Homo-oligomer: A and B are copies of this chain.
Amino acid sequence: MNTNHIQIQDEILEQIDQHESFCVVGHIRPDGDCIGSQIGLALALKSQGKKVVCWNQDDVPSKLEFLVPNNLMQKPEPGQTFDCVIATDCASADRLGETGNCIGDRKIMINIDHHTGNTRYGDLNWVNSKKPSTGELIYDLCTHANWEISPAIATCLFTATSTDTGSFMYPTTKPETYRTAAELVEQGANLSKVCEEVYQSYPLCRVRLMRLLFNNFKLTHENQVAYFWLKKEHFTRSGASHADSEGLIDHLRDMDPVIIACVFEEIEPELIRISLRSKNKRLLVNKIASQFGGGGHHAAAGARIQGKPATIQRKVIKACREAVDALSKPKNGK
């Protein structure tokens, strides 16, 4: 297993060595691990003298903007070509969104990710689902390559590692994750900036969204399932954008005795995005999400579902209840 990971890193480094121009892309609705990995890798490539741009379909969330140097995030011109495209933290070609259209013309596509369900859409695929963040993979790649990790790179990779582990809180966090964090701080990761920008700077429009959540969430199934509808009017009333709603679901998950949290978000009148969180190791929300054409991690997953909101709510909550009930059923053993 380890040998494989070293071999694939060697192959990736060989490809990087052979090429000049790079586009580093991430997933739709980019989060801290996506942006941190993407910008961290882009800066590392630039420090090796490469020509690099980054691109995502959706904007960088404002709390992560401090990670992105001017002019690094640039939508490729029509007809612009790259030697090499690298996707970070993106489980499937689908989740590249419109980015996919901009990067069709390239010699090689490299896919670096930690999602279990990664569809291996690259020419070279380095997928390690044992790592709690893609940021840690990029860190491993940089150290394996013996590239210098500047304070800016360290800050990006620290942000990636920190956000995808809930600030080193989730049980997915490994001893080596903490050691990676230690090394990134030693290499100049700006902890103070990350803490303030990423975790302690919720804009007041987000605070209004929180108020709406606390006033309107619902509990069902003996308070084991919590859910909330993020409606278009909530965004209008609060002045918040979709990016501001990231992580809102954690407040539902963190209630006792909630086991599954679900946020329904009205994307279009009959297109609903669901986000799911589980806090029971045996309750895998990516299984629920996959019933609706989505996916994700065991503890955090999502899907986009077409249909009438009331029907979708009924079906999703039913699936959640069944998943909770299955926990107390005796195992199918002999």
Interface positions of A (Cβ within 8 A of B): 162, 166-171, 173-179, 181-183, 185-186, 191-192, 195-196, 199-204, 207, 210-211, 214-215, 219, 223, 251, 253-256, 279, 281
Look across to chain B and name the residue whose beta carbon is closest to the beta carbon of A179. B182
With A179-B182, A182-B175 already in contact, the answer to whether A204 and B256 are too (CB < 8 A) is yes
Would B200 and A253 count as touching, CB distance under 8 A? yes
How distant is A285 from chain B, measured CB to nearest CB, in Å? 14
Would A207 and B255 count as touching, CB distance under 8 A? yes
Residue A207 contacts which of B178, B214, B279 (CB distance < 8 angstroms)?
B214
Look across to chain B and name the residue whose beta carbon is closest to the beta carbon of A211. B214
Look across to chain B and name the residue whose beta carbon is closest to the beta carbon of A162. B169
How distant is A226 from chain B, measured CB to nearest CB, in Å? 9
With A207-B255, A254-B199, A254-B200 already in contact, the answer to whether A186 and B175 are too (CB < 8 A) is yes
User: Number of copies of this chain in the oligomer?
Assistant: 2
Look across to chain B and name the residue whose beta carbon is closest to the beta carbon of A173. B191
Known: A179-B182, A192-B281, A203-B256. 14 other contacts (CB 8 A): A168-B169, A168-B181, A171-B195, A174-B185, A175-B182, A175-B183, A196-B279, A200-B253, A200-B254, A201-B254, A201-B255, A204-B256, A210-B214, A211-B214
Residue A254 contacts which of B178, B179, B202 (CB distance < 8 angstroms)?
B202
How distant is A220 from chain B, measured CB to nearest CB, in Å? 13
Q: Would you call the interface of chain A mostly helix, strand, loop, or mixed?
A: helix
How distant is A9 from chain B, measured CB to nearest CB, in Å? 22
What residues of chain B lie closer than 8 Å to A166, measured between beta carbons?
167, 195, 199
A-B contact pairs, 10 of them (CB 8 A): A162-B168, A166-B195, A167-B168, A171-B195, A176-B182, A178-B178, A178-B179, A201-B256, A202-B256, A215-B215
How distant is A202 from chain B, measured CB to nearest CB, in Å? 5
Look across to chain B and name the residue whose beta carbon is closest to the beta carbon of A251. B210
